[in-house]
Amino acid sequence: LAKTTQPISMDSYEGQEVNITCSHNNIATNDYITWYQQFPSQGPRFIIQGYKTKVTNEVASLFIPADRKSSTLSLPRVSLSDTAVYYCLVGDPLKGGKLIFGQGTELSVKP
């Protein structure tokens, strides 16, 4: 199972770019890297998913180096509403039971 390691918490200010890095040294060939956002009292919400190189959507970018042993979620110009817990998830989506959520990174955005 691909174990993930990410910072427990991060602080930022409105308007700044936030980069959260996740380490996954034993990632397997069929594993994808997915990031979720969770607000208090809500279920997690999908942010972005990638396999290699760079992926960008309307809310974030995901950078994955060639060795795929880590990944970085980049949130451009964060706002107070981006305060949440961010989870890095690594695994083969076709083997749902092997998808392990880590402890997540609690991001606090200040004015």
- Which residues contact other proteins by CB under 8 A? 32, 34, 36, 41-46, 49, 51, 87, 93-97, 99-104
Q: Nearest distance from residue 9's CB to other proteins, in Å?
A: 12
Q: Dihedrals φ, ψ of 97, to 5°?
A: -75, -10
Q: Nearest distance from residue 111's CB to other proteins, in Å?
A: 25
Please name which of 64, 74, 78, 80 lies closest in space to residue 24, comparing C-alpha atoms: 64
Q: Nearest distance from residue 106's CB to other proteins, in Å?
A: 9
Residue partners of 51: CB distance under 8 A and separation at least 6 = 32, 33, 64
**Whose Cβ is closer to other proteins: residue 24's or residue 87's?**
87
